Structure 1
């Protein structure tokens, strides 16, 4: 590597020409580096004709071209001098074969969904047609009419199966008697005719419950000694005390106050 002059024709070297032009322009290396974005160590190396720090001929040519424009030199002349001193410019890679290869390469075939759907529809239509033309009974080859004797014979008549008789419901008075414990006071109130307001207290006078009993609903109260009842619509309720029904508790709309203890029921 020669520094200062070209070894072939005695011309100033590339680095010397760049350095001289920079100095004549009144620019420092740092200013050139800031303007061209070429790092200052690389600028110093190029001015000393050391192109090893450029990273290859391609980058060296690019740096030379950039620095030459920055200091007012002709980049083409410096690049020509660089190629002459470093074995010439490499021949470009022919692009035609690569282009031909890319053009000849066939694209991957996509599935033809339209043809597949048409084939499926044709298959379904063919199957339905075959089923219609080949159907019928085994004897005459014709479909059996719905009202023909054969159809009537082949279709068994579904006679309604006799329904199982419902189990007889136990008498309310019997179930109430069986459910009532003998050592307590048990009162069961059922709203049979209409709704009724009821209130129940135990033997200590504490309120057990107070509610409007809807039609068809029942409520049972139990105490060790005594139950005091208030019925807001006495004629609409059915009353069982200690398992025994109390006949005619009262009239419709009548308010009744009743008390019951263990043993046989007695109205208070």
Structure 2
């Protein structure tokens, strides 16, 4: 009867495997494989490794590892331990289960996936319940919002009816629109009339695209002076009753001026100037009328004065002519008497 080592060797050769091939597959050192084939079990680290290496060798070359271990036990003269017998039994059962034909019927598949199906159905039911509750709350909130909107619309409609009357009343008493008119230009000085201005005005200085250095004079005294960086603004409150404000503007192309929210387009008068002085004359409706009346009175007075001057000049010339004629008559009479 052939030894275990010889059976393993014959099976290896029958499969066309070399010891190097077997070493690469089983990861068992080549010297241990040679020792098993030659029956030199003392060359291995211990009996446990003898059985483990022999089992792995047998599985690789296609022999029944359980039979090889049994023959190896007989050859070594030692029975298998209970642990080895249990391991051998479990291996046989696993192999039988793997080789046993599987039941591919529909009932077998359903029973296999039944727990998964139950879990999926429960999860779907929970999600459906949550969605139904959320949808119901959404519809309820939507209906409440519509009711509140309808109530607000009804209330606002009732409130807005008398508001039209107030609007018409305010429109009838609306003030005249402010106007800014350039009335004089001399060198770098430009004079503007701010007509229909409120009793207390606001001047806003700003800078855009560069820095602007400005100064404000109210009533002949300096009210503010400083440099505005690009994007910065400065508001100047003009006291009530002020009729004249002077602005000194540096870097005109980067400066802006607003009077009571109305932009002053000072670049329309000689846009090439960098530094300029802006004289603002503030007038409201009544002061404008008074100014016109005073201007007409002054014009009439000037005309009357000019007329009196002309009359005086004409009277003086007439008197001179009369005296000249009288002198000529006396001379002629004296010449006649002498002759």
Q: TM-score scaled by structure 1? A: 0.36
The structure whose residues are more often helix, as a share, is 2
Q: Which is greater in Rg? A: 2
